[in-house]
Chain A
Amino acid sequence: MSQRLDPGAGARCLLMGNEAIARGALEAGVSVAAGYPGTPSSEIIENLARVAGERNLYVEWSVNEKVAMEVAAAASYAGLRSMCVMKQNGVNVGSDFLLHLALAGTRGGMIIVPCDDPGALSSINEGEARQFARLLEIPLLEPGDFQEAKDMTRWAFELSEEIRNLVMVRSVTRLSHASGTVVLGELPEPRKEARFTHTGFILDPMTGAVISAPVGYKHQQQQEKLEKATALFEVSPFNRYVGPDKPELLLITSSACYLYSVEAIRVLGVEDRVGLLKLGTTWPLPPKLVEKHLSRTDQVLIVEEVISFLEENVKVVAAERAHAIGAKTFFGKRDKTVPSTGEMNPDHVIAALAKILKIQYETAPEEYRKRGQTISFFGAPSRDLTFCPGCPHRASFWSIHNVLEMDGREGFVCGDIGCYTMALTPTGFSTLKTVHAMGSGTGVASGFGKLGQFGMDQPVLSVCGDSTFFHAAMPALVNAVHHGSRINMVVLDNGGTAMTGFQPHPGLSVDATGKQAPPISIEAICRAIGAHVENSDPFDLQDTQKKLFRLLERTDGVNVLVLRQVCSLSPQKKWKKLFEVSVREEVCLGETCGCNRMCTRIFRCPGLVWDAQKKKARIDEVICTGCGVCASVCPSGAIEKKEAA
């Protein structure tokens, strides 16, 4: 993507939000960027990695978010500008470090960019990073469009250097993953020198040791930094008001909700009744600015996503200044004028405005809405979440599920974070029974595996991906081994951080910028920890199941089975078929007793199609990846596989 570097300053480009953030960082002269892949944040590091050579950047996919923050912090201490990037819950992973970082302060400009996922489009939570800004007492910026995504990112580094502390720039899915016009700025000369000065007076923030103590002193300093940021926020161009001088209703918003609010006001044609205050600096709120706009009217609507963060902070200002501006009527999440969970959208804002302003408004005619409902309910086939054709996880969970069912002791699997989380659903034969955070599967299993003294005799398994193994599962495995927990851990190694787009991890021989890196063996780690380790190819169902049975029969210690097969979408595998697969129709039992459509009803690889006319299965050659697993699944040998030429 050449827009990151060319065309030069002044050019108008169509950039994805994450590209705009990356460009903003480049315009700020960032030198070091670290992150852990997570939707919707991953493209920021990827874009920076691609220009690392030209711009003399150091860019890495760190083993986890905490380490990413630590790596970026080191650059700041050495005087460079740095950033760390992650999805919303990645901030949780590093929050312990952040607490100390924010207290100790930074030197070179350092920003943290969490990309939140309201509505959990690509997550199993809709956690909020904004709360962390308040918790950590650091400034928070929220871009409201693509231009701001770039400009705010650039300015965040300046702000960080101004106050010598970390600054958070928070994006959301609809900003990170949508595209808009951005006018580019100048790229500075790449920075070359880094030096960590540590010989000064211990309390000197620029030359002394870096530490968060003495806490009272540093905490006071930190709050002074926040006050300084607040003063800058009072005059920031990222906060804008559009509307009549004395509107009926003041709408306060931030982030992508700004665009929804603009659209809603326009659709209802209430530009002369509603004033729109778009805030870009949302923590700490600039109180004078907020007071000025609150005094315009007595009715206030706050539009934001997920938690009533902005709403509560505005209310604090309103309460503190009530004697001057009078009592206000607030509408927002707390009075349920807008939904308190999920994504915001223009319809929600329209509904809220229509209710407050007493406007009759239908998003669609009643008849149309009913018809749409009927058609979508009866007419559209149900489309489950599914693993891709040829996905190794389908084969792995087939074996795990079948072995646990045959074992018959109500064994279960504690799941983890990755594509394989979908094994909660029928595409993975509903094999997973718990799923929490990265690495939690093995941690939760470690706990279950110690309940034998209370009579629990169910086999306990955990699964985790290769990247997840390094990210957070290793400490859980250590815990299980050290405490003699009875668990079996299955590592689903598909050769990369597949779900987020094949970012490399420490198990691979390349790094984020494509340079050679020493790979670290999962098996060697597990053996060193003290686990009994085996491995298999999940496409070899027989061998995989034999080994799973063997692990379940072992009566002590922790067992690890590494199931290794590269993701069918990975760049090295794409379009390369292992086998040509076909169905011998005369052998296919179809719906009759003896099969009852095992392949298309249960196994359900999208490469298998049920021909309802012929009542036979067939292969969709366009999407079949030729893994050949269905040939092992077919009970009558009707599916044939031949080595692909």
Chain B
Amino acid sequence: MKVFGPNELLNDVQKGGLCVGCGACVDLCPYFRNYRGKTSMLFPCTLAQGRCYASCPKAEVDLDELAARHWGGSYSGEPLGNYREILAARAGEKMGKGRFQGGGTVSALVTFALKRKQIDAAVLTDRKGLEPVPRLVTRPRDVAACGSSKFIAAPTLAVMNMAVREGHRRLAVVGTPCQMTAVAQMRLNPLARDDFLDPVAMAVGLFCNWALDHRALAAFLEKRLDPSRIRAMDIPPPPANVMILETADGKLEFPLDDIRPLIPQTCFICPDMTSEWSDLSVGMFEGRTGWNTLLVRTERGGALVEEARARGFLETESMPAPYTDSLAKAALQKKQRALRTATTREVLNVNQDGKRSALRVRPEVVDSILSAQ
């Protein structure tokens, strides 16, 4: 992994329009801050190498290197990434019923991990009106409040950085694919510090096709409703083609065609739909209301699922093959779109003139992804 410093980060990512505001560089130091979804550098920093650049999911991400360090072997470009098992899942009876937007799988797993003291805190994303608010949660009963989809890029990892600074070393982190990529990079101890300890005990990734820019969405909605009255958001599976906002005054629908312009351009170079660099990945089970799709990627992820199931916090069923196929197809389409866009924008595998690249994928893998059906 090539590690540069804050000035390169500022130039390539912030100024280059690639920043999604994930929070990976925020609160590591006094220089990067996030306010209302936008990450800014307050003052120049002169370091040639920084953790800010090393963690950034949009700066010199070498998928082969991530694969080698996390799974062994190289990055193959499989649509759903490296996984051990795919399951249908939902919160078990211990969690109570009917309070979740999807199946409540993430809430169940995090609640259980906190109760069992497998983790000492969880980095989650709450909501205040429209605004996604990162939270460090230590009490199991506070987990469920952070459930429900936000569909908005949030600086969740800023809270992880803060928690690490405060001494936490057994964290669960729940986040989107870009955030899982950042966490995976951070866990490699990129600056080879002697005092480094991997603080992430469980990385729970969410499925994501794209998120919305917080400020752009706020400006869009400001003209149409009072954002402080928003309770929940949903984008139902096709062919619905709408975004639904649940407000204190009832449901509001907006055509997706009006919403798509609010997607940050950087989402279109993201090759990951299912959070491939996590321990567990969770998404909607489209077509089966009240259930989630759960990908078990690591041994410790599998162990948590096993225990949570045994203790009644989680319920799982096998995943029907046709659904797995259609999920993989959607994930492949995202990869293909991302690689084509990244090539056009000249941020994929850039080598000449000492230029830096957002993403590095072996050319033969790029070819195989682009030619896959």
- A interface, CB within 8 angstroms of B: 401-402, 405-408, 429, 549, 591, 593-596, 598, 601-602, 633, 635-636
Docked-complex contact B30 and A635, CB < 8 angstroms: yes
CA distance A635 to B26 in the complex (A): 12
Docked-complex contact A596 and B40, CB < 8 angstroms: no
15 examples of A-B residue contacts, CB within 8 angstroms: A402-B42, A405-B33, A405-B42, A406-B34, A406-B38, A408-B35, A408-B38, A593-B49, A595-B30, A596-B31, A596-B47, A598-B31, A598-B43, A601-B46, A602-B30
Give the 9 A-B residue pairs with the shortest CB-CB distance, closest first.
Answer: A406-B35, A635-B30, A408-B38, A602-B43, A598-B30, A405-B42, A594-B29, A405-B40, A593-B50
Provide the residues of chain A in CB contact with B33, threshold 8 Å: 402, 405-406
Docked-complex contact B42 and A596, CB < 8 angstroms: no
Provide the residues of chain A in CB contact with B45, threshold 8 Å: 596
CA distance A429 to B45 in the complex (A): 14
Docked-complex contact A593 and B29, CB < 8 angstroms: yes
CB proximity of B251 to chain A, nearest CB, Å? 27
Most buried by A among B34, B36, B43: B43
Provide the residues of chain A in CB contact with B40, threshold 8 Å: 405-406, 408
Docked-complex contact B35 and A636, CB < 8 angstroms: no
Docked-complex contact B42 and A593, CB < 8 angstroms: no
Known: A405-B41, A407-B36. 11 other contacts (CB 8 A): A406-B35, A406-B40, A407-B35, A593-B29, A593-B49, A593-B51, A594-B28, A594-B51, A598-B29, A602-B30, A602-B43
Most buried by B among A402, A407, A429, A593: A593
Residue on B with the closest CB to A633? B30
CA distance A636 to B49 in the complex (A): 19
Provide the residues of chain B in CB contact with A633, threshold 8 Å: 30
CA distance A407 to B37 in the complex (A): 10
CA distance A408 to B33 in the complex (A): 10
Provide the residues of chain B in CB contact with A549, threshold 8 Å: 35
Docked-complex contact A593 and B191, CB < 8 angstroms: yes
Size of interface on B: residues with Cβ below 8 Å to A: 22
**Residue B311 at the A interface, CB < 8 A?**
no
CA distance A408 to B28 in the complex (A): 19
CA distance A595 to B47 in the complex (A): 10
Docked-complex contact B28 and A593, CB < 8 angstroms: yes
Residue on A with the closest CB to B222? A555
Residue pairs across A and B with CB atoms within 8 Å: the count is 50
CA distance A252 to B31 in the complex (A): 59
CB proximity of A583 to chain B, nearest CB, Å? 16
**Residue B139 at the A interface, CB < 8 A?**
no
CA distance A408 to B14 in the complex (A): 11
Most buried by B among A549, A591, A598, A633: A598
Given A406-B35, A408-B38, A636-B165, does the pair A429, B28 have CB atoms closer than 8 Å?
Answer: no
Docked-complex contact A596 and B35, CB < 8 angstroms: no
CA distance A405 to B40 in the complex (A): 6
CB proximity of B159 to chain A, nearest CB, Å? 16
CB proximity of B294 to chain A, nearest CB, Å? 36
Given A593-B29, A635-B30, does the pair A406, B42 have CB atoms closer than 8 Å?
Answer: yes
Provide the residues of chain B in CB contact with A401, threshold 8 Å: 42
Provide the residues of chain A in CB contact with B47, threshold 8 Å: 591, 593, 596
Residue on B with the closest CB to A589? B29
CA distance A402 to B45 in the complex (A): 15
CA distance A190 to B355 in the complex (A): 82
Docked-complex contact B29 and A635, CB < 8 angstroms: yes
CA distance A63 to B8 in the complex (A): 51
Most buried by B among A407, A596, A601, A636: A596
CA distance A598 to B44 in the complex (A): 10
CA distance A362 to B52 in the complex (A): 57
CB proximity of B186 to chain A, nearest CB, Å? 12
Residue on B with the closest CB to A601? B46
CB proximity of A547 to chain B, nearest CB, Å? 15
CB proximity of A587 to chain B, nearest CB, Å? 11
Docked-complex contact B38 and A596, CB < 8 angstroms: no
Provide the residues of chain A in CB contact with B41, threshold 8 Å: 405
Interface hits, B1-58 → A, CB 8 Å: 28-31, 33-36, 38, 40-43, 45-47, 49-52
CA distance A496 to B36 in the complex (A): 37
Residue on B with the closest CB to A595? B29
Provide the residues of chain A in CB contact with B34, threshold 8 Å: 406
CA distance A494 to B272 in the complex (A): 54
CA distance A593 to B47 in the complex (A): 7
Provide the residues of chain A in CB contact with B52, threshold 8 Å: 593
CA distance A429 to B44 in the complex (A): 11
Residue on A with the closest CB to B53? A593
Residue on B with the closest CB to A598? B30
CA distance A440 to B29 in the complex (A): 37
Residue from B29, B36, B165, B191 in contact with A596 in the complex, judged by beta carbons closer than 8 Å? B29
Provide the residues of chain B in CB contact with A635, threshold 8 Å: 29-30
Provide the residues of chain A in CB contact with B46, threshold 8 Å: 596, 601
Provide the residues of chain B in CB contact with A594, threshold 8 Å: 28-29, 51
Provide the residues of chain B in CB contact with A407, threshold 8 Å: 35-36
CA distance A429 to B51 in the complex (A): 24
CA distance A173 to B215 in the complex (A): 53
CA distance A636 to B52 in the complex (A): 16
CB proximity of A46 to chain B, nearest CB, Å? 40
CA distance A602 to B31 in the complex (A): 10
CA distance A602 to B30 in the complex (A): 10
CB proximity of A288 to chain B, nearest CB, Å? 65
CA distance A602 to B42 in the complex (A): 10
Most buried by A among B29, B38, B41: B29
Provide the residues of chain B in CB contact with A406, threshold 8 Å: 33-35, 38, 40, 42
CB proximity of B26 to chain A, nearest CB, Å? 10
CA distance A438 to B337 in the complex (A): 58
Given A593-B28, A595-B29, does the pair A429, B43 have CB atoms closer than 8 Å?
Answer: yes
CA distance A407 to B215 in the complex (A): 11
Residue on A with the closest CB to B44? A602
Interface hits, B113-165 → A, CB 8 Å: 165
Residue on A with the closest CB to B35? A406
CB proximity of B23 to chain A, nearest CB, Å? 13
CB proximity of A452 to chain B, nearest CB, Å? 14
CB proximity of B350 to chain A, nearest CB, Å? 25
Residue on B with the closest CB to A634? B30
CA distance A602 to B35 in the complex (A): 21
Provide the residues of chain B in CB contact with A598, threshold 8 Å: 29-31, 43
CA distance A261 to B34 in the complex (A): 61
CB proximity of A606 to chain B, nearest CB, Å? 18
Provide the residues of chain B in CB contact with A595, threshold 8 Å: 29-30
Provide the residues of chain A in CB contact with B165, threshold 8 Å: 636
Residue on B with the closest CB to A636? B165
Provide the residues of chain A in CB contact with B30, threshold 8 Å: 595, 598, 602, 633, 635
CA distance A549 to B38 in the complex (A): 14
CA distance A322 to B252 in the complex (A): 91
CA distance A633 to B31 in the complex (A): 11
CB proximity of A189 to chain B, nearest CB, Å? 64
CA distance A602 to B44 in the complex (A): 9
CB proximity of A388 to chain B, nearest CB, Å? 21
CA distance A44 to B28 in the complex (A): 54
CB proximity of A279 to chain B, nearest CB, Å? 54
CB proximity of B280 to chain A, nearest CB, Å? 30
Residue on A with the closest CB to B191? A593
CA distance A402 to B40 in the complex (A): 9
CB proximity of A129 to chain B, nearest CB, Å? 41
Q: Could you mark each residue 159-183 of chain B with 1 if its beta carbon is under 8 Å from any beta carbon of chain A, else 0? A: 0000001000000000000000000
CB proximity of A400 to chain B, nearest CB, Å? 12
CA distance A553 to B253 in the complex (A): 27
Provide the residues of chain A in CB contact with B29, threshold 8 Å: 593-596, 598, 635
CA distance A635 to B45 in the complex (A): 14
CA distance A591 to B48 in the complex (A): 12
CA distance A408 to B191 in the complex (A): 29
CB proximity of B103 to chain A, nearest CB, Å? 37
Provide the residues of chain B in CB contact with A405, threshold 8 Å: 33, 40-42
Provide the residues of chain A in CB contact with B42, threshold 8 Å: 401-402, 405-406
